[in-house]
Structure 1
């Protein structure tokens, strides 16, 4: 039997090790060599889907590979987010995230199916104010009148959202708590189904992300009662803020971004981030988003990580303060 000395084995290992690192570096330099999947934890047609499809074409151009959108809705975004968090950390699975999945659900669900730390920030895509919309049958021209109706008839009116734990759910619960009104929450599997239900008269109102809601508002099929941000929107200059409607101190803004599984090489993260940022700088993309009350940001991994940390610290306190719970 041939014997190999321990020293010889160590020398052989030392010779192989640089080749292994060289191969890994080569793979990162060549990324991507196949299509990249972008998981969107919401249904097609909602704001998340609209944003991702808006940047899809330019991202494909920059990366040199197809970016395939995979809608995985359900459980307030938890299903798709968990799927993305468990993917291989190679950059070929990117997951869309927002305020709900990264800063709200972890404090609302005992087990959302993933940990925020298991997702590495890539790009802070957008900042968004929400809009409170109503079916034309609701006899109120603005939020102030609607809240007066709700106080006179507790439990009569309903408010649809993109699901339990979603940003719109939290925005609605904050409004109910601060305005001291009883409005029944009706969760859906995404913002688009909630708007469809509102159009059909199944519910009274929806706290909506604006990209999907604005076309119906401008067509006169739905009416805007208020916007949730600090200031009025350029897209809806005649619509008051919630604070202007008598709920002093109310302000709610959401955000969207991209992540990859923790452990993804930094060089790969930087390539994906650069592609997303380039897409947001496209004139037609920026104009489309801005017209929909959705402001492009395009900040990189560091800035996005800092935002997530700030938001988690803020919402862990506010959710307890307002006693917000999953229905």
Structure 2
């Protein structure tokens, strides 16, 4: 409450009420000073225009409304998300720096990189935002229309095909390596500095294939510039109902679903974490945001802090074993 507001209210009240009102004013002012009181930075460890950036910009406006402060997006791509995530880990634990994380940075990179620049223990979970299946696409010059056709051709011509991803150690990379291992394929991995550059590489013919998050790939699929061969989840997507799963295409037992969420540095006040959880989950519940995400094969979640912490722990246990099982390595 500003000094002018105080004077107006005091003047409007009767003399008998002045002492009581004057005693309440510091409490009102103190309540208004609680978190957040300034701009919040959301670090997105991928380049602008990619899948992660698209999700964050979808949520940005509504989160600003619910928090009452501006939320700006700071894209810090590179090293499969390690650069931006490490920056978030080193930020002041005051609630004003939030980091977008995904399965890659929180459950894969710790086992793929000898020193990713951060540890999972440096963060406090805020909320799981969503879960998402990936889509395997071919550029328009590849003479196949389904993954089953690709498998047949790739086995006849080992080493012919290349596939692009968001980078070494990314969820896209792991999905591709799982496909190679389980289908016994000889494919060459081409890492890019984010999902958007990987898609551009496929569109331009730098790679034959791309393993992508749907939010960034769907416009090109609908325009006929990329051919969707298969989705990586356990069931077909509502957005691509005619595209089979990898398992349906002949790779039995294959299933890969990714997820993402928000974290803050360890030691951030619980009040700030609770407010961020409230704002992010509130944004996900709005019909326009929920529908927009679902149209991109992204399933909104909006979890509690505790549930997201459990997911991260479970995924670390799972992927530490799978990475060894499939002998996955950074190129």
Regarding TM over 0.5, the answer is yes
- 1:1-327 to structure 2, matched below 5 A, reads 30-327=34-331
Q: Secondary structure at the match of 2:53?
A: helix
- RMSD value, Cα: 1.0
Report deviation, 1:209.
0.3
Task: Provide Cα deviations, 1:185-234, integer angstroms capped at 9, x if missing partner.
Answer: 00000000000111111100011000000011011111100000000011
Measure, in 2, the Cα distance between the counterparts of 1:174 and 1:222: 22
Q: Secondary structure at the match of 1:124?
A: strand
Mean CA deviation greater in 148-157 or 66-75: 148-157
1:28 and 1:265 in contact (8 A); partners too:
no
Task: Provide Cα deviations, 1:7-62, integer angstroms capped at 9, x if missing partner.
Answer: xxxxxxxxxxxxxxxxxxx6996111110000000001111000000000011001
1:28 and 1:268 in contact (8 A); partners too:
no
Report deviation, 1:300.
1.8
Task: Provide Cα deviations, 1:73-112, integer angstroms capped at 9, x if missing partner.
Answer: 0000000000000000000000000000000000000000
Report deviation, 1:153.
1.0
Q: Secondary structure at the match of 1:324?
A: coil
Q: Secondary structure at the match of 1:245?
A: coil
Q: Secondary structure at the match of 2:69?
A: coil
Measure, in 1, the Cα distance between the counterparts of 2:171 and 2:159: 22
Moved over 4 A (4+): 26-29
Report deviation, 1:136.
1.0
Measure, in 2, the Cα distance between the counterparts of 1:29 and 1:166: 40
Q: Tell me what 1:5 maps to.
A: none
Task: Provide Cα deviations, 1:120-173, integer angstroms capped at 9, x if missing partner.
Answer: 100100000000011011011100110111111111100000000000000000
Q: Secondary structure at the match of 1:94?
A: strand
Which runs of no fewer than 5 residues in structure 1 stay unpaired? 1-25
Which runs of no fewer than 5 residues in structure 2 stay unpaired? 1-29
Gap change, CA 1:245 and 1:36, over 3 Å in 2: same
- Report the TM-score, using the length of structure 2 for normalisation: 0.90
1:28 and 1:267 in contact (8 A); partners too:
no
Mean CA deviation greater in 69-78 or 151-160: 151-160
Count matched residues: 302
Report deviation, 1:282.
1.2
